[in-house]
Amino acid sequence: MGYKEEITKAMTMLGKDERTIFLGQSILYPGHVMYGTLSGVPDSKKIEMPVAEDMQMGISIGLALKGYIPISIYPRMDFLILAMNQLVNHLDKIEEMSEGQFKPKVIIRTMVGSKEPMNPGVQHCQDHTLGIRELVPNIHVIKILYPVDVMPVYEAVLEIDKSMVVIEMGDLYD
């Protein structure tokens, strides 16, 4: 199976877990390539978000405090930059600040925008993986480079008791 097909399979798997909930822009309405990967997830588990990236990350944390496992979708890493306050100052620090009383688990799904066959320009295809790794020492940041790794990564993401940033590669979508 190809990269996108594997991602779709992984999202369907995540959607079957009763704890998960999906939120982001263009997840109930088409607007980017990630939309199609959610075809196996019931609409009732999707929250279509306005463009409010930091609010979305904070909402994800709040949902997690109540026991959900949010899959918070940022279709390009360039957009995830706008959620840094909630990601860096909150999600990454809450367990330490609360001395382990609160351990919100959020799965952040993002993508390095594709450059082929159309180059979208420098605001839509940056790879900030290394920078984000520096900023969130308590959150795992993992990039998926091969189709064969997709399912094992998302199975592990669901299993472990940590928040994770999962980075997909737009140019690998087939």
Partner 1 sequence: MDGKELIKFEEEIKEVFLQGKIKAPIHLSGGNGDALIEIFSCVHPEDWVFSTHRSHFHALLKGIPPEWLKEQIIKGNSIHIMNSEYKFFTSAIVGGTCPIALGVAIAIHRSGGKEHVWCFIGDMASESGIFHECQKYARNFQLPISYVVEDNGLSTNTPTEKAWGGREQLPYTPKYQYERTFPHINVGEWVEFK
Answer for which of 18, 29, 30, 66 binds partner 1 (CB under 8 A) is 66
What is the maximum span of the chain, computed from C-alpha positions, in angstroms? 48
Query: Pattern of binders to partner 1 over 102-141, x per CB under 8 A?
Result: x---------------------------------------
Q: Which two tokens stand for residue 78?
A: 């360039």
Residue 84 sits in the site that holds partner 1 (CB under 8 A)? no
**Of 101 and 159, which has the nearer Cβ to partner 1?**
101
Task: Name the pairing type of β-strands 20-24 and 69-74.
Answer: parallel
**Of 28 and 142, which has the nearer Cβ to partner 1?**
28
**Of 30 and 67, which has the nearer Cβ to partner 1?**
67
| 56 CB-side CA count, 13 A | 28
Query: Looking only at residues 35 through 64 of this chain, which bind partner 1 when binding is defined by CB under 8 A?
Result: 47, 50, 52, 54-64
**Of 49 and 153, which has the nearer Cβ to partner 1?**
49
Instruction: Name the burial class of residue 83, with classes exposed (0-12), middle (13-18) and buried (19+) by CB atoms within 10 angstroms of its CB.
Output: buried
Residue 149 sits in the site that holds partner 1 (CB under 8 A)? no
Strands of 164-169's sheet in order across: 46-48, 20-24, 69-74, 107-112, 164-169, 140-143
Q: Which two tokens stand for residue 28?
A: 């109930």
Which spans of this chain sit near partner 1 (rule: CB under 8 A)?
A: 47, 50, 52, 54-68, 85-86, 89-90, 94, 97-99, 101-102
